[in-house]
Structure 1
Amino acid sequence: MRPNPLTDSRPKISTMPRPQTEATAYLNLYKLAIEKKRLQTELDSIEQRRHRIQKRLSFLESQVSEMQRESAPKLTSVTKISASDSALNTLFLEY
């Protein structure tokens, strides 16, 4: 009987964690430092975007208030048109 090559070369899986070494500790510190730097960069870009949005919002608010001041005397009342008053044109297309 020939040995099965698939069963002989399987990796051994262990549920035990690897022992903590100095290299593992340095690797963990490095990964944490990289994640911290990435998050800080992301936070900075979010703050810059927030600042741009706030600036745009204040500009839009000033524009709206300016337009309201200029057009307040010129505004006339608009009568509402109900659905029954308006004539609807319907067009049917056949393919």
Structure 2
Amino acid sequence: MPSKEQVLRLLSQGRDYEEIAGILGVPAGQAYLIATGIPADGGDTVTRGRPGVLPSRSQRLVNPREINPTGRGDVHRWVRRRAWGDPQMQAAADAGEKR
């Protein structure tokens, strides 16, 4: 388990929590918790004067953005194959072309 001093030292060297997490082998949110004593997914209920506290958006350390798989080409091809193999979908497509 990394120490508070280790995390704060790395922060003082200009590293961010994601980089520190990789160096110390812990999740970024855990590095934030070790340094500040505040969970990264918590609210702004504490004073901002603590060392290591981010000015905003600590939530991203524990809940990174999700990747939307519907934007992948292989997913689009799969949906297309499914639609072309479905008689009801074909009937709907034919009805739309006749309008």
The verdict on a shared fold, with TM-score over 0.5 as the criterion, is no
TM-score by length of 2: 0.25
TM-score by length of 1: 0.26
Higher relative contact order (CA 8 A, sep 6+): 2
